[in-house]
């Protein structure tokens, strides 16, 4: 644990507690149910980090630059090394048959290699891939034999790094339960500028993220204003946090058989909803049970 990996706040523990509960419930079902027990299960952490989170007491909240490629740390609330999602997953009891950790930062990859050594009994089940999450995950979804495999995928980016094509690839497997962090206040709401819809690269990024250009009509409405030359109609932002979140859930519902309708709002100390923790199940037969469990976990 030599590398600094600072992110999140109290809401991060909240998020990981829900994930932990779901992973334990999932593996219990797949162990006890004789038919399900024949299937191999994988946990995929596509934005794996280091396996821990370093938080610094009373670190000041930083103003986020509007640079989507480098959405930084939010705010920290204690001085501790806390568990990250990879470690939480490795502690799942009973364990998964396979673990796939994807991370693009080579220093974090070295930390994940060290984490593997701390779990010698399941070390051989852990695959660590240095790569870009979208490309690696889409490739893995295509190559896996979904007749004999099932998986839980956790998408925990800083900002808008997840592409809709990746979410589609996950849904197409008809075999994956998806936990995804939607960067509501952290990124999407910031990009949706008040004065009018973003254009150029920002607009393309939103379209790649939502998998449609419909976000423009969903989040902006015409408004008439008088100026020197008479009345002029412009588009102005009309969407609330709730409407932006609901739009993402509707998008998920177009490709997954079932989506939990009670995503968890993760709020910073100023009560701004920075992320929405969402759940969707891709396997038609298993989705009612999966979503019932996820709903309970999200609602507690």
Ligand X SMILES: C[S@@+](CC[C@H](N)C(=O)[O-])C[C@H]1O[C@@H](n2cnc3c(N)ncnc32)[C@H](O)[C@@H]1O
Binding site residues, ligand X, CB under 6 A? 7, 45, 47-49, 53, 84-85, 102-105, 108, 132-133, 156-158, 161
Q: How far is CA 282 from the centre of its chain?
A: 16
Which C-beta is closer to ligand X: that of 153 or that of 192? 153
CA distance 116 to 288: 34
Residue 10: CB atoms within 10 Å: 16
Which C-beta is closer to ligand X: that of 6 or that of 193? 6
CB 108 within 8 A of CB 49: yes
Which C-beta is closer to ligand X: that of 104 or that of 208? 104
As measured in angstroms, the least distance from the Cβ of 22 to ligand X is 14
As measured in angstroms, the least distance from the Cβ of 237 to ligand X is 27
As measured in angstroms, the least distance from the Cβ of 15 to ligand X is 8
- Structure token digits, residue 220: 């902006």
CB 57 within 8 A of CB 79: yes
As measured in angstroms, the least distance from the Cβ of 132 to ligand X is 5
Which C-beta is closer to ligand X: that of 108 or that of 215? 108
Tokens 């800083």 correspond to 158
User: How far, in Å, are 42, 127, 185 from residue 149 at the CA level?
Assistant: 8, 16, 35
Which C-beta is closer to ligand X: that of 134 or that of 189? 134
Which C-beta is closer to ligand X: that of 54 or that of 189? 54
As measured in angstroms, the least distance from the Cβ of 254 to ligand X is 24
As measured in angstroms, the least distance from the Cβ of 101 to ligand X is 9
């Amino acid at each position: 644990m030599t590398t600094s990996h600072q992110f999140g706040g109290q809401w991060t523990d909240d998020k990981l507690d829900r994930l932990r509960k779901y992973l334990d419930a999932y593996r219990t079902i797949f162990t006890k149910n004789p038919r399900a027990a024949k299937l191999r299960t994988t946990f995929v952490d596509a934005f794996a980090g280091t396996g821990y989170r370093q938080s610094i007491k009373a670190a000041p909240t930083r103003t986020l630059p509007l640079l989507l490629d480098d959405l930084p740390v939010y705010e920290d609330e204690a001085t501790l090394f806390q568990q990250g999602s990879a470690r939480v997953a490795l502690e799942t009891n009973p364990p998964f048959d396979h673990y796939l950790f994807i991370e693009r930062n080579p220093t974090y990859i070295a930390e994940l290699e060290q984490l593997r050594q701390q779990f010698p009994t399941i070390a051989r089940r852990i695959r660590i891939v240095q790569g870009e999450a979208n490309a690696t995950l889409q490739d893995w979804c295509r190559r896996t034999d979904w007749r004999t495999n099932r998986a839980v995928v956790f998408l925990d980016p800083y900002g808008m790094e997840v592409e809709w094509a990746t979410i589609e690839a996950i849904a197409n497997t008809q075999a994956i339960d998806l936990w995804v962090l939607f960067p509501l206040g952290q990124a999407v709401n910031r990009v949706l500028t008040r004065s009018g819809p973003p254009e150029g690269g920002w607009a393309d990024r939103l379209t790649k993220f939502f998998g449609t250009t419909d976000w423009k009509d969903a989040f902006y409405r015409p408004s008439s204003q008088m100026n020197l030359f008479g009345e002029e109609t412009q588009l102005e932002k009309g969407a609330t946090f709730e409407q932006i979140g609901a739009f993402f859930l509707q998008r998920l519902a177009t490709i997954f058989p079932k989506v939990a309708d009670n995503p968890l709002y993760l709020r910073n100390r100023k009560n701004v909803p920075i992320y929405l923790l969402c759940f969707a199940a891709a396997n038609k037969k298993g989705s009612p049970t999966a979503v019932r469990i996820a709903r309970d976990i999200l609602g507690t």
